[in-house]
Amino acid sequence: MTDFKGIRGWKVQTLSTDPAASAISATTWASGGNMNTAKKEFASCGTQTSNFTAGGTDRSSPANYFTIHEQYDGTSWTEAGDINQERYSFSGAGTTTSSLIFGGYIDSGGPITGVTESWNGSAWTEVADISARYANWGVGASNTSALCFGGYNTTTEAKTEEWNGSSWTEKNDLNSARYGMSGTGTATAALAIAGVTTTRVTSVESWNGTSWTEIADVSTARNALGASGSYTLALAYGGGTPSVTASTEYYDGTSWTELNDLSSARSQLGGSQSGTSTAALAVGGSNPSIAFTATEEWTTPSTFSKINLGQVYFNSTANAFKVTEQPIPPTSWSSGGTMNTARYAQAGAGSSLTAAISFGGAAPTRSAATEQYNGSTWTEVNDLNSATNELGGSGTYTAALAVGGYVSTGLTAKTESWDGTNWTEVNDLNAATDNLSQSAGTQTANLVTGGNTPSGYTTKTESWDGTNWTEVGDLNQGRGLMAEIGTQTAAIVASGILGPPYSIPNSVETWDGTSWTETTELSTPSDRQYGGGIQTQALVYGGRAGPAYPPPGNTANTEFWNGTSWTELNNLSAAKYNGSSLPATGSANSAMAAGGYTTTVVATTEEWTVDLSNKTITVS
């Protein structure tokens, strides 16, 4: 019998596990040593191989409330000296030889306490109290350096207090009062993750030793979760959603990514907030209400098989042939960072969701504002030279082009070039034009087509060589406010608005560097859409669905173009139009909808990300 190599001339690699995008994405949770006492709502801190738990409850009937203190050496748990006051729903910081616990509830329905206890490696000693609260969280390196934040007393707390070894000092509050959160880091560099305000939230805040700053949200709103790592590299896992979850999320300093789940869903668990994102511990907790002793360990492998698009291999564990692909469905939109200024009718550029720029627009007055996006946060940078809306834009985070639009004196032919720091006026378009949702290409090789001129919607197309604009082949239909996607020599425009008489078509045209050709129509005619990708793989989403008059309704539709036909995919979470996107990202595997208009001007960002995945091949 001829083998695969004999037929195709090359071997198929055999792997015991599927390849992964990174070492951390290949990590899974494994069983560790069990605690001696089943419990939840306890204080826990340390690392994966040197951890402690103290206090807590089992919520049995009748419930037990503990002074028990256990320590973990990476293999097994051993009881050490008990804390002085039994308590639950509190927090701790430090290590197995130098630690601190503070706050919580005393016994069943007992008073809320501010009692703080310090561990010196052999005994617990009561020291200066913190302000009384429960469901608070703490981080810190030792019994002389700790931070406590959030919690609940008679109301939800935003309070932050720092411990210096002898006393607590109030610091700047959290931006959002919350309780039941988790966190990682030290007294001078920490994260506050999720929790409850009036409902469970996804919000995350970063502490720099002085103040809290809101950063990228976790994907899943939750409370009573575990955490490990630093303020730039962290894990968040488990918790209540309100059902109990096993979800694990990883923070890379910019955004959160879902990884492999805990083996057992649990909430009210202990973590290793002094540990790392690559070596974490999840201990105890409950599912859904009865406490247990189980410990799980997260240890990132030092080597792994790298995932590659189009890779064919044999998974010996699954006994199956597989291929790595990048499917478009069933991806859905998720929330990104909020812009500093709500706006619409702006332009955007950028090559990825972690390197994007948005400029101009109306908020509601005409704006010159420019903001850059790093995957979690929008930052205001230097303005355009002219406040402009309904302009075109494309390029990258550090090399963008702003074209045409509407300024205080009317339609403009101005072109501005962005060098990563400043905007500089360069040579004008040949014709003043607005109603340009986007342009196509780069800062030095760009294409602008259609739009509104003093004589109405135009078929004109202009090509930019980095210095001058040159008129090239016309569109088949004069139109404006359409999605324009791709490059200077391979572009696609979809839908838009025609007129007069005004109408919104679903027609699509492609550009081959010389001329425009009509091709397969969109399913939903719309104008002022967002769009991104390349000529052969594009997304068009949102917009105002036709007819043009009376004013149409907003749409959340997302359509995918594979070079031949359009397919409807998952909708935006909000029907909106006339914001900024990433006109030429290289494919439809990442996209952005920043700002725009729903029933009002918005500052929200939605993100679309398609990851590589491994798919079993059916063979016969």
CATH number at residue 458: 2.120.10.80
pLDDT of residue 305: 82
What is the predicted pLDDT for the residue at 3?
59
* In-domain check, residue 162: yes
Q: Which of 338-352, 556-570, 602-616 has the lowest mean pLDDT?
A: 602-616
Number of other residues whose CB lies within 10 A of the CB of residue 352:
17
* Residues 206 and 311 both lie in one domain: no
Q: How many Å apart are CA 243 and CA 287, to the nearest integer?
A: 9
Domain shared by 376 and 513, yes or no: yes
Q: Residue 254 pLDDT > 90, yes or no?
A: no
Does residue 270 sit within a domain? yes
> What's the one-letter identity of residue 368?
A
Mention every residue, 6+ apart, whose C-beta is less than 8 A from residue 101. Answer: 43, 54, 55, 83, 90, 91, 92, 116, 117, 119, 124
The answer to whether residues 504 and 442 belong to one domain is: yes
pLDDT of residue 329: 65
Domain membership flag for residue 616: no
543 shares a domain with 490: yes
8 and 145 part of one domain? no
619 found inside a domain: no
pTM exceeding 0.75:
no
| Strand 13-15 versus strand 312-315 pairing type | parallel
Q: Name all contacts of 7-14 with Cβ < 8 Å and 24+ positions apart.
A: 12/312, 12/313, 12/314, 12/321, 13/311, 13/313, 13/314, 14/313, 14/314, 14/316
Task: Answer whether residue 284 is part of any domain.
Answer: yes
Average pLDDT over residues 571-591: 88
Q: Which two tokens stand for residue 488?
A: 């200077």
Judgement on whether residues 572 and 502 belong to the same structural domain of the protein: yes
Residues 425 and 447: beta-carbon distance below 8 Å: no
Distances (CA, A) of 580 to 54, 93, 358, 439, 530: 51, 44, 6, 11, 7
Amino acid sitting at position 439: S
**Whether residue 571 is found in the same domain as residue 597:** yes
Q: What percent of the chain has pLDDT over 90?
A: 74
Taking residues 56-72, report their average pLDDT.
Answer: 93
| Domain shared by 175 and 233, yes or no | yes
- Residues near 423 by Cβ (< 8 Å), separated by ≥ 6? 359, 370, 382, 383, 384, 385, 402, 416, 417
Query: What does the pLDDT average to over 498-504?
Result: 85
Domain that holds residue 320: 4-19+307-325
Mean pLDDT of all residues in 183-190: 96
Query: Is residue 291 in some structural domain?
Result: yes
End-to-end CA distance of the chain: 14
In total, how many domains does the chain have? 3
Residue with tokens 């990851």: 611
Res 9: pLDDT: 55
Give a yes or no: residue 125 inside a domain.
yes
Mean pLDDT across the stretch 509-524?
Answer: 95
Query: Do 395 and 319 share a structural domain?
Result: no
Whether 423 and 479 share a structural domain: yes
Asked whether residue 285 falls in the same domain as residue 356, the answer is no
- Specify the higher pLDDT residue, 355 or 344: 344
Residue 267 shares a structural domain with residue 364: no
Torsional class of 188: left (φ above 0), alpha (ψ -120 to 50), beta (otherwise): alpha
pLDDT band at 320 (very low <50, low <70, confident <90, very high): confident
Mean pLDDT across 231-249:
95
Closest CA to 32 of 302, 298, 250, 303: 298
Output the pLDDT for position 614: 79
Q: Smallest Cα–Cα separation from 569: which of 597, 609, 534?
A: 609
DSSP-derived 3-state class of residue 26: helix
Predicted confidence (pLDDT) at residue 510 exceeds the cutoff of 60? yes
Q: Any bridge partners for residue 235, and if so which?
A: 228, 250
Of the segments 174-188, 290-304, 352-366, 500-514, which one has the largest average pLDDT value? 174-188
Domain final residue pick, 261, 290, 325: 325
Closest to 255 (Cα-Cα) out of 143, 356, 366: 356
Assigned domain for 313 exists? yes
Residue 198 burial (CB < 10 Å; 0-12/13-18/19+)? exposed
